[in-house]
Structure 1
Amino acid sequence: MRELVTKGALGGLFLLSEDVHATFAALRDAGVEITQEPVEQPYGTDFGIRDPFGNHVRISQPTAAAPEAQEVSASR
């Protein structure tokens, strides 16, 4: 697996952050290649980076309540 990852063969990696904007700023300031700045999505906020081997990584901060949780709360 390590050999594939170091060749950039990883299809993509998704990581979670408790503060996506702080994580973005820290990685940007450290010189990490940013492929997409933070974007608000229906599920939360995320951004993209590329690791030193060329693998794509998404870092996301999900919204506080997922749509399923909101539906359960509304039905009560």
Structure 2
Amino acid sequence: MDVKLKQCFIAVDDHDKAIAFYRDVLGLEVRNDVGFEGMRWVTVGSPLQPDVEIVLEPPGANPDFSPADREAMARLLAKGVLRGVIFTTADCDALFERVEQSGADVLQEPMDQPYGVRDCAFRDPAGNMLRFMERAGD
């Protein structure tokens, strides 16, 4: 089978703040930033992974959501309980310093995990948890 990841989605409540964080702090490329059916379609991705994109979308972007569903999703995002993503990095400590200096909310300072990675965690401007891991020996 020829199956590969193409896109994943992260809910954001302010595209401009999200772009500034993902582009300027994390160094991801903005691949698309266009209006689409009354919404804004923004994708970012690592220059090291040209085939994989993260879609930054409003929490209630699903066209099948009712107004109550959209409101519930916005509340969950505000609480910081929606899932984020896990990134890999060659230098967890250097990445931690850069992201911490941006003012991002620190959830976990770099630490060695018993399962063979060194990792840290932050919240993005919308409150999503982002983890960054460095594999032992990388």
* SS of the residue 2:127 aligns to: coil
Compute the displacement of 1:10 (Å): 4.0
Counterpart in 1 of 2:59? 4
Aligned to 1:52, the other structure's residue is in SS state coil
Aligned AA for 1:44?
V
Deviation at 1:23, TM superposition (A): 0.3
Unpaired runs of 5+ residues, structure 1, are: 66-76
Give 1 or 2: higher helix fraction: 1
1:14 correspondence with 2:86? yes
Q: Which amino acid aligns with 2:132?
A: I
1:33-44 to 2 correspondence within 5 Å? 33-41=105-113, 42-44=115-117
SS at the partner of 2:126?
coil
Aligned to 2:104: 32
User: Which TM-score applies when normalising by structure 1?
Assistant: 0.72
CA distance in 2, matches of 1:63, 1:10: 28
Matched, 1:54 2:127: yes
Letter matched to residue 59 of structure 1: F
Cα distance in structure 1, aligned partners of 2:88 and 2:59: 23
TM-score normalized with structure 2 length: 0.42
Q: Which portions of structure 1, spanning 4 or more consecutive aligned residues, are displaced by more than 2 angstroms?
A: 7-10
The alpha carbon displacement at 1:35 in A equals 0.7
How big is the shift at 1:32? 1.2
Aligned residue for 1:70? none
CA-CA distance at 1:11 after TM superposition: 1.3
* Structure of higher RCO (CA pairs closer than 8 Å, 6+ residues apart): 1
Secondary structure of 2:103's aligned partner: coil
Deviation at 1:31, TM superposition (A): 1.0
Give 3-state SS (helix, strand or coil) of 2:122's partner.
Answer: strand
1:64 equivalent in alignment to 2:119: no
